[in-house]
Amino acid sequence: MPVCFWASLTRRTIFTPRAVSVFSTSLQSQAPITRKFSTMAPRSTKRKASAAPAAKANGSKKAKTTDYDDELREPHHAADIAEKHGIVLRDYYPPEMSNTRARAYAEEALHRPMENLVIAQRETSEAMKKAAKGEAVAHWFKTDLRCADNTSLALAAQKAKELNVPLLCFYLVSPQDFKAHLRSPVRVDFILRTLKILKDDLAKLDIPLYIETVEERAKIPARVLELLDSWGCNHLCANLEYEVDELRRETKLLRLLAGKNKSFEAVHDTCVVPPGQLRSGTGNQYAVYTPWYRSWMAHIHSNLDLLELHDVPPKNPASVRKAFMKIFDCEIPAAPKGKELSAEEKKRFHSLWPCGEHEAKARLDKFCEERVGEYSEQRNIPSHNGTSSLSIHLASGTISARTCVRTARDRNKTKKLDGGLDGIKVWISEVAWRDFYRHVLVRWPHVCMNKPYKPDYADIEWSYDTDHFKAWCEGKTGFPIVDAAMRQLNHTGYMHNRCRMIVASFLSKDLLIDWRMGEKYFMEHLADGDFSSNNGGWGFSASVGVDPQPYFRIFNPLRQSERFDPQGEYIREWVPELKDFDNKEIHDPYNRGAGDKAKKNGYPKAIVEHSECRTRALAAYKAAVA
């Protein structure tokens, strides 16, 4: 039975029971971790694209080690296509990996990035204990841009108090990470605006927030060390981010700091239940949401401290202002090249997406006060304001998922997450999806390396029809619900959840276009773009993720439109060409006697025929995975 070895971590009570460091002494009592292929070359090694490895009848385990090792190093046979269409960004990453390599991650033949971090923590723990008091403790802000209920910030504040030294904070702007992670300009702008609020809030506590741009992301660990040295700081705390690049960076940083006898506490924060804590009866991570969710709730019910919220840090001594004057004085940089907004976009997005943690909390309270009661009935209607619109805040960390669940639960009639008011119950179950996809990411990290959850799905013969893709991006497919949704995304940086599913299904099933192009387009345009939620949503809709169900989950855009936008209100809002059409015509103008009017208004004919596409999609999925 594969052992998910970080899952057995006991929650280390360094601070509060929830302040879980990924390292736990319980690891040391485990059997040594053996890996079949521990002599792998680092993945960053540049490899020449070559032919597909010969298929192995019975998966990887029967292969001779050397053959298998070769297969692990080979790129996928269609790696050049992924590169050509901008799916794999070769400025930052190696070619798309082979299915064998993805399978090796799935079958635990390769260490996952989280495991490597845990190993690094174990190996450096003694050196870290030698960290001297120093002149300050630092917290590194990343996707946790808030003072309230911030695990690492609270831990750093406590440490500073214990050592009787001040707390310093910093944020590093990394233009290369913005590019490599496809951060949308609207999201970058939101981050930079939020930093200003955060800086002002911290300054009121005499805590400086130092902000600096680091042009080359590979230099971040070294720069962190330099900064800590320049402040005389020997203790660093940060919340974990679970994406592959971030876990690898933190592993490197950990070893670097340990080598200088500095301590680095990387703690769980972004999920309500840390990844690795929930396991099915077979000892594995759940890959299906419903049983996972039952286990998630049960885990919280028996660990209620998971819903305890951390306080804002206390004030630093006022003398810090003089001692660290230069840090207090730093400027918030402008958006890096390629991520700027025009003046018109700034105006639009600033009014659509007010930023900062106070806004996030006010939004949550208002939603719980006014709308959560009707959430279960309203949440699927894109023309209604039935959801919380908190995703941009959760993605940037201006509010914690814990605060969301705790606030909603406290308004319920019961402390049980599966009881009481329907709206609250369902809303909490939606927030849980965010945790679920993060758990999936940590356990199956190849999903963060351009591979589908089940490697065989990488062999589906996708289309790369650029006209079709352009029509989808621009909202000109001739399918009104799809076009309305894409135009909402392009104009606001947001799309309703129901519509995200409709357009993702349309791209991957009706157009049979490589889902990763849609996943990328979403990340480049969403204000709430978040790797694991986006990847999970695309995995669900394109049937390439956990629990894929390709033969049942093919949305009919017309049925979806009639069911969830029966009066055509959403379509009218975003597709002005169809504004005056009646409730029947609006869903399918050319087939409902309104073709001439649609043509005159400049609305295009449908670019494909759904039933034909359905048949084609089923055949393509079957051919790859049957």
Ligand X SMILES: Cc1cc2nc3c(=O)[nH]c(=O)nc-3n(C[C@H](O)[C@H](O)[C@H](O)COP(=O)(O)OP(=O)(O)OC[C@H]3O[C@@H](n4cnc5c(N)ncnc54)[C@H](O)[C@@H]3O)c2cc1C
Query: Which residues of this chain interact with ligand X, rule CB under 6 A?
Result: 379, 387-391, 394-395, 430-431, 433-434, 437, 497, 500-501, 504, 522, 526, 528-530, 533-534, 536-538, 541
Based on the residue annotation, tell me whether 574 is a catalytic residue of this protein: no
- Separation CA 242–CA 533 (nearest Å): 12
CB of 489 to ligand X, least distance (A): 10
- Separation CA 558–CA 580 (nearest Å): 19
Q: Choose between 231 and 555: whose C-beta lies nearer to ligand X.
A: 555
CB of 134 to ligand X, least distance (A): 37
Q: Is 70 annotated as a binding residue?
A: no
Q: Is 222 annotated as a binding residue?
A: no
| Residue 595 token pair | 């073709």
Give me the catalytic one of 296, 353, 433, 444.
433
Give me the catalytic one of 212, 345, 359, 430.
430
- Separation CA 539–CA 543 (nearest Å): 6
Q: Is 437 annotated as a binding residue?
A: yes
Q: Is 174 annotated as a binding residue?
A: no
Residues 220, 172: contact at Cβ < 8 Å? yes
The DSSP element (H or E) to which 141 belongs, if any, is: strand 136-141
Q: Is 178 annotated as a binding residue?
A: no
- Separation CA 6–CA 16 (nearest Å): 19
| Residue 316 token pair | 């630093």
CB of 355 to ligand X, least distance (A): 15
Q: Choose between 555 and 581: whose C-beta lies nearer to ligand X.
A: 555
Q: Is 568 annotated as a binding residue?
A: no
The DSSP element (H or E) to which 170 belongs, if any, is: strand 167-173
Residue nearest to ligand X (CB): 537
For residue 319, give the nearest of 207, 232, 169, 155 by alpha carbon.
Answer: 207
Based on the residue annotation, tell me whether 296 is a catalytic residue of this protein: no
Which residues, listed in sequence order, are joined to residue 213 by a DSSP beta bridge? Answer: 173
Q: Is 463 annotated as a binding residue?
A: no
Q: Choose between 263 and 400: whose C-beta lies nearer to ligand X.
A: 400
CB of 505 to ligand X, least distance (A): 9
Q: How many CA atoms lie within 13 A of 68 on its CB side?
A: 19
Q: Choose between 356 and 529: whose C-beta lies nearer to ligand X.
A: 529
Give me the catalytic one of 116, 380, 497, 601.
497
CB of 291 to ligand X, least distance (A): 17
β-pairing verdict for 136-141 and 233-239:
parallel
In 174-250, DSSP assigns E strands to 209-213, 233-239
CB of 201 to ligand X, least distance (A): 23
Based on the residue annotation, tell me whether 515 is a catalytic residue of this protein: yes
Q: Is 433 annotated as a binding residue?
A: yes
Q: Choose between 95 and 382: whose C-beta lies nearer to ligand X.
A: 382
β-pairing verdict for 209-213 and 167-173:
parallel
- Separation CA 269–CA 253 (nearest Å): 19
CA distances (Å), 50 to each of 77, 281, 315, 450, 460, in order?
A: 7, 41, 59, 18, 19
Based on the residue annotation, tell me whether 430 is a catalytic residue of this protein: yes
- Separation CA 492–CA 484 (nearest Å): 12
Q: Is 387 annotated as a binding residue?
A: yes
CB of 391 to ligand X, least distance (A): 3
For residue 269, give the nearest of 147, 401, 170 by alpha carbon.
Answer: 401
For residue 106, give the nearest of 363, 534, 440 by alpha carbon.
Answer: 440
- Separation CA 10–CA 359 (nearest Å): 35
- Separation CA 68–CA 444 (nearest Å): 20
Q: Give the other-Cβ count within 10 Å of 427's Cβ.
A: 25
Binding site listing for FAD = 375, 387-391, 427, 430-437, 528-530
What are the binding residues?
375, 387-391, 427, 430-437, 528-530
Catalytic residue ranges: 430, 433, 462, 497, 515, 538
